[in-house]
Structure 1
Amino acid sequence: MDKTTTLPQRARMTVSGPPSEGRGRCVVGFDGSSAGVTALDWAVTWAARNHRDVHLVGVVDDDAGAMSGTSASDSDHARAQLLSETVALLTEQHPGIAVTTRLIAGPVAASLAAAARPDDLVVIGSDKTGYAHGRLFGARSVQLAALVSGPLTVVPAADLRFRAGVLVAIDGTPESSRLARVGAEEAVARQCALGLVHAIAVDATSERRQLGEAVLREAFEAARAVAPGLEISRHLANRRPAEAMLNLARDRALLVMGRSRRVATAGVGGTLHEVLINANVPVMVLP
């Protein structure tokens, strides 16, 4: 197995403020790929900012090992060594953050979902197609989104160093105000601007446009209540929701959206599916 990809060199980050005892962890699915390293770097930064512990989870997919000719014991050893080396790097680069690990054998998405508690934030990397390097995550982010009960962040394998701003997708459901508040909190923590987007059909009637403006106005007030001085913009987009989100988010640091409850069947809604498969920005999905 290849050596662990070197983590990005960053300024040392020490944690101050209240300890993370009694709060959810930042659970990171890690496989050593470039997408996994990008996700881990994002997760450590978020965990330090929010005073959370980091829990690294390695998954040994027995089926994948069999197909590659690797025995289960060899896969276990390699993954355990990967986690151990990564913890050593994190301890050196980010003193003050508590890091724990867990090695699991089984289906990737289901194993990661089972490793998380309801108040944990699960973070995984995505290569968008799911085929790069034959690694674990990628398109499986969609599977995980359907399984986790708590919040999930999917981080694409992209250069995120010069990104700024938080975008929140507002769908007009009763949860829209909560999404706006979470987005405002993230924007305040990052010291950046907040954007709110709500999509309507190209041929929407004037009544539907007025309703869309009202939805954005309510979300704006919810966000402003969190941070009165926060710079907030509103976007009423005449296009499909996924297109509107991805277009506006292409230079942002974070996209916040809700997990659809409009479908009773297992899985995720079409909009969330399309966004995760084509993610060009870290996507935080809230239950």
Structure 2
Amino acid sequence: MTDPIVVGVDGSGRSLRALVWAAHEATLRHCPLRIIHVLPPAHSYATTEEGRVQEARNWDQGVVAEAIAIVQEAHPSLEVTSDLPSGNPAAVLLAEAEHAHTVVLGAKGTGGFGSLLLGSVALQVVGHASSPVVIVNHITTGHDRIVVGADGSAHSRAALSYAFDQASLRGAEVQAVHAWSHPEPHAYVSAAQDAMAKEHLQALEEWLAPLREEHPGVEVVEQVPDESPVIALARASDRADLLVVGSRGLGGFHGLALGSVGHHLLQFSQCPLAVIRPRT
């Protein structure tokens, strides 16, 4: 069976935007969509009055029913499954990621996934999921551009591969950004700086070469800006339908779950952000 696109919903507007993005992704990939709404641990219901317990259960079931109805109206032929597991949201989603093509979450929510975007739950999902994770704040379309950060690391190579796959799927171009910083950022442009820029461009071209061969129909734009990766990628995201980064780059400590660039872009990306880890 084809691995599903898994989306977490909590009834908030932004989780519904994640749902819309996930449903479109599942349709493009011809794979199932799996909708997950994590319930509070069972013991929390036990401390609530019986009437309020039923009200809470009805609300939770309504969140999923609404999500299914939205998807079925937009994509009537899409295979949709759902589940309402109880427990720790991060643990539930990480378990789902083991059998998912992609996990999709909203940037903010009412009290579930998105509201914890910069807290422990979402950071655990983004940093430790075995599948790609896409964080959706605003859905952007019409740019026909996938922006991807590159630095030569194993995580970056996985991000590049994912970006080319997305570009092929969507008929979009790839904008590959290899940002670097001159050791003397306030110095005037010199022959040495120009030589460094050419070296970085050559490195980027080498990283892209096998993917260009694998995806000959994908147009590629190369950029080697002399500035912070966070600034360069955040700026580029304003004109993209998807921003792709590796979960950790060359500058991270060994074993770091999520690198500083990816962490900052969770806040500053102006389009959906895909965080990629190499498959083991």
Query: TM-score range, shorter-chain basis?
Result: 0.7 to 0.9
In structure 2, the partner of 1:284 is 274
In structure 1, the partner of 2:187 is none
Shift in CA distance, 177/265, structure 1 to aligned 2, threshold 3 Å: closer
CA shift for structure 1 position 92: 3.2
Larger radius of gyration: 2
| CA displacement 1:96-137 (0-9 Å, x = unmatched) | 21111111222322222123324431000103xxxx644531
Aligned positions of 1:172-183 closer than 5 A: 172-183=152-163
- Report if aligned partners of 1:124, 1:154 keep a CA contact under 8 Å in 2: yes
Partners of 2:212 and 2:139 lie apart in 1 by: 30
- Report if aligned partners of 1:194, 1:230 keep a CA contact under 8 Å in 2: yes
Partners of 2:242 and 2:200 lie apart in 1 by: 23
| CA displacement 1:134-161 (0-9 Å, x = unmatched) | 45314253231123122111111x2524
RMSD over aligned Cα, in angstroms?
A: 2.6
Shift in CA distance, 219/88, structure 1 to aligned 2, threshold 3 Å: same
1:263 aligned to 2:270? Answer: no
- Report if aligned partners of 1:166, 1:252 keep a CA contact under 8 Å in 2: yes
In structure 1, the partner of 2:240 is 252
For 1:256, what is the secondary structure of its paired residue?
Answer: strand
In structure 1, the partner of 2:188 is none
Structure 2: gaps spanning 5 or more residues: 185-191
- Report if aligned partners of 1:200, 1:237 keep a CA contact under 8 Å in 2: yes
For 1:233, what is the secondary structure of its paired residue?
Answer: strand
Q: Whose helix proportion is higher, 1 or 2?
A: 2
Partners of 1:142 and 1:153 lie apart in 2 by: 12
Partners of 1:81 and 1:190 lie apart in 2 by: 32
In structure 1, the partner of 2:89 is 108
In structure 1, the partner of 2:217 is 229
- Report if aligned partners of 2:135, 2:272 keep a CA contact under 8 Å in 1: yes
Shift in CA distance, 265/61, structure 1 to aligned 2, threshold 3 Å: farther
TM-score by length of 1: 0.80
User: More deviation in 223-232 or 163-172?
Assistant: 223-232
Partners of 1:122 and 1:194 lie apart in 2 by: 22
In structure 2, the partner of 1:199 is 179
- Report if aligned partners of 1:165, 1:252 keep a CA contact under 8 Å in 2: yes
1:273 aligned to 2:252? Answer: no
Shift in CA distance, 136/185, structure 1 to aligned 2, threshold 3 Å: closer
Shift in CA distance, 199/122, structure 1 to aligned 2, threshold 3 Å: same
Aligned residue type for 1:53: P
Aligned residue type for 1:186: Q
In structure 1, the partner of 2:60 is 79
Aligned residue type for 2:231: E
- Report if aligned partners of 1:60, 1:75 keep a CA contact under 8 Å in 2: no
In structure 2, the partner of 1:212 is 200
User: More deviation in 86-95 or 173-182?
Assistant: 173-182
| CA displacement 1:236-278 (0-9 Å, x = unmatched) | 0212211111111112001111111643355311111111122
**Please, which of 125, 130, 134 is the counterpart of residue 149 of structure 1?**
130
CA shift for structure 1 position 48: 0.6
For 1:184, what is the secondary structure of its paired residue?
Answer: helix
